[in-house]
């Protein structure tokens, strides 16, 4: 399944968007919809980093656990986490227990708070509304020059687990690019909408 697929409801979707009920909701309601607030972007940056090497469905199914464990992704609260919090997180089965990724989430909260213009301003400089329209899943890149530049700038500002592939996944998820396939019913649907943290 490389092109848009018709679901039981008669709507065409990107093929991954039909592979599990959680994916249908995420694909239809969130993926690709512009996120323009720092907390919302921080949450998604953390989740994309935790996803590295894992299936996205694992992260979706643990999302509420992540929100509880990381204080609703309140950057000021997470930035204040210390060794006891790290120990608590490493014992929390409701999240992905990876020490490097947990440390990165805390470091990234601190880095985000240190940004002069905020996370939204930094990330949205790399929006690419004129990206090519993918006809098939094979047309969707894993990285782009924009994601490589975003990754480089995030790293320069002290962020971790933000390689070009993770940066591009963030760009896709948060609406900096529209990678819904040409025939997908959500293609272009978010042109004038924005969501915050949830």
Question: So which residues are the catalytic ones?
Answer: 26, 48, 56
Is 175 strand, coil or helix?
coil
Positive/negative CA dihedral, 19, 176, 78, 151: positive
- Token readout for 133 is 């329209």
**What is the Cα–Cα distance from 124 to 155, expressed in whole angstroms?**
16
- Token readout for 62 is 């643990």
Partner residues linked to 195 by β-bridges:
35
The answer to whether 47 and 197 have CB atoms below 8 angstroms apart is no
């Amino acid at each position: 399944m490389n092109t848009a697929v018709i679901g039981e409801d008669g709507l065409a979707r990107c093929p991954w968007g039909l592979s599990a009920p959680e994916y249908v909701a995420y694909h239809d309601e969130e993926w690709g919809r512009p996120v323009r607030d720092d907390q919302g972007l921080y949450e998604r940056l953390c989740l994309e980093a935790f996803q590295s090497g894992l299936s996205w469905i694992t992260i979706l199914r643990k999302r509420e656990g992540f929100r509880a464990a990381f204080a609703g992704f309140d950057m000021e609260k997470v930035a204040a986490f210390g060794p006891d919090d790290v120990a608590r997180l490493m014992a929390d089965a409701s999240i992905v227990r990876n020490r490097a990724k947990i440390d990165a989430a805390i470091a990234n909260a601190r880095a985000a708070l240190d940004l002069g213009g905020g996370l939204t301003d930094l990330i949205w400089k790399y929006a690419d509304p004129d990206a090519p329209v993918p006809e098939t899943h094979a047309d969707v890149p894993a990285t782009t020059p924009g994601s490589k530049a975003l990754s480089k700038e995030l790293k320069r500002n002290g962020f971790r687990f933000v390689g070009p592939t993770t940066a591009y996944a963030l760009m896709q998820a948060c609406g900096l690019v529209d990678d819904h396939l040409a025939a997908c019913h959500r293609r272009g649907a978010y042109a004038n909408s924005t969501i915050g943290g949830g």
